[in-house]
Structure formats: structure tokens, C-alpha cells
């Protein structure tokens, strides 16, 4: 059974592998706000590159209501960066794994 996620605390999957939960949705929400995309459009792009969570879960993560795994966070980062690339910009959103030491 998963405990309430706290940033930095590892949680175990069924397979025994540790899954890090983070609460960094607000940084993604801020990046999203600089685009013309709404959450539904972001979700579709996130889904297209392999994202596994529902649209509602994405909304909850962006508003800070729930934690997500660092991996799913990075899938959203990828989706956002690909959008920026399409606009001719660099990929400005950092990946969660790059934020760890």
C-alpha cells in the first residue's frame, strides 16, 4: 500500500523497486501557462509520448493536489519541451532527474 507521498521519500512498487514521488507540478503549470495549450491539449501530447496517468490526474498534479512519480513528471516535461521545439524555441523545462544531485 502506498503512503501519502512526501518529496524525496521513496515508495516501493509491487516489484520491490523504489519509486520517487515528487510535488513539482506547479513548475509545470507555470511552464504551461506560457503556452497556448490548455490542460487537455497538454494531456494528449503527454499521452502520445507514453504518459500513463489520466487527464484528471494531470490536472490534480498541476494544481499541487497530488504527488506524481518523477518519471511521469518527466513525461510531461518531454511533452512540453516538444511543444516548445515546434514553436522554434529551445527546450526550457528541466527534467526531474536533472534536478537531483
Partner 1 sequence: MAGTPESEHRGMPSSDYCGQPLHLEDLAGLLGRIARDLDTEKTLDETMRALVAAAVDAIPGAEAGGITEVRGHGQQIDVRFASDQLVRELDTAQEVLGEGPCLDAAYQHRTVRVNDFQTDERWPAFAARAHERGIGSMLAIQLYVDGDDLGALNLYAYQPNAFDDESEQIGLLFATHAAIAMAGVQRERQLRVAISSRDIIGQAKGILMERYKLTAEQAFAVLTRASSESNIKLRKVAESLAATGTVPGS
Residue 30 or 85: the one with the smaller Cβ distance to partner 1 is 85
CA dihedral (37, 5, 53, 89) positive or negative: positive
- Which DSSP letter does residue 36 get? S
Binding-site residue total for partner 1 (CB under 8 A)?
A: 17
Give dist(CA 72, CA 20) in Å, integer: 10
Residue 30 or 48: the one with the smaller Cβ distance to partner 1 is 48
Give dist(CA 58, CA 39) in Å, integer: 8
2 scored as a contact of partner 1 (CB under 8 A): no
Give dist(CA 41, CA 8) in Å, integer: 29
Quote the least distance from Cβ 65 to partner 1, whole Å: 23
100 scored as a contact of partner 1 (CB under 8 A): no
Residue ranges that bind partner 1, judged by CB under 8 A: 17, 44-45, 47-50, 71, 74-75, 78, 81-82, 85, 91, 95, 97
Amino acid at each position: 500500500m502506498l503512503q501519502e507521498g512526501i518529496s524525496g521519500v521513496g515508495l516501493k512498487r509491487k516489484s520491490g523497486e523504489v519509486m520517487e514521488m515528487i510535488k513539482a507540478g506547479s513548475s509545470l503549470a507555470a511552464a504551461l501557462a506560457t503556452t497556448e495549450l490548455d490542460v487537455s491539449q497538454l494531456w494528449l501530447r503527454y499521452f502520445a509520448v507514453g504518459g500513463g496517468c489520466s487527464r484528471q490526474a494531470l490536472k490534480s498534479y498541476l494544481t499541487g493536489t497530488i504527488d506524481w512519480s518523477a518519471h511521469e513528471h518527466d513525461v510531461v516535461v518531454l511533452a512540453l519541451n516538444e511543444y516548445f521545439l515546434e514553436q522554434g524555441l529551445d527546450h526550457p523545462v528541466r527534467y526531474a532527474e536533472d534536478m537531483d544531485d
